[in-house]
Structure 1
């Protein structure tokens, strides 16, 4: 077995890790994507204002900055109320309600393709239904052809 410092990180593969990644659902991937995106936007805004975690905690009347640290971990399940308060304190936009036509800043491709695996799954289901419908209608058409 190679030592950790001998592993080429660009060519490393592990069957165990590959199997573990296969267990992650599209929904879990989407949730993680957006949670990490929110944390990154909050962190960027803190840096832009020259604030530390304690400064945001103080602006939001939170006794301990450990909650802000939890937010920045990218694993916190925010409430809409909390996101609104953070937006107001930092002067940033975290929620884009009613602006579906604009590209989503947290989407990795800026909105050129479906921005969440759940959306992609819905599109795939719609395509499957369309193909099934076409296949069924073609079977009926073939049944009416007279062979001589």
Structure 2
């Protein structure tokens, strides 16, 4: 009786080639994915600033002045928009940012002007600063490779 054993499985070379192919694909896909995430975060922050600006314009239409205040943080901004007194800690309604985990927001306003700012705090947008004012002037700073609103 002649019994031969057939071997099945992969050789070490085949496995190493497979791992190398996966590594090459990951090296190509990861930067593209990170760029997509950064761009997505910036677009959301831009939308948040536009929504905040619309809230300020709505306030202006009702009061004929912008809320004279400098505020940072979502709660304080909401208080300003609602015209709440200074010790406001939990507003019942108002502007709610979608990117609160990746950006910190602030308002600087006089009776006739305002500037709203989003400063990146998340990993992919750290240091990015987006601004919007009452004249719809928009700027983006310190956010390579982007140099203007998307």
Does TM, normalized by the shorter one, top 0.5?
no
Write 1 or 2 for the structure with the bigger share of strand: 2
TM-score of the two chains, using structure 2 as the length reference: 0.26
Write 1 or 2 for the structure with the bigger share of helix: 1
Which structure has the greater CA radius of gyration?
Answer: 2
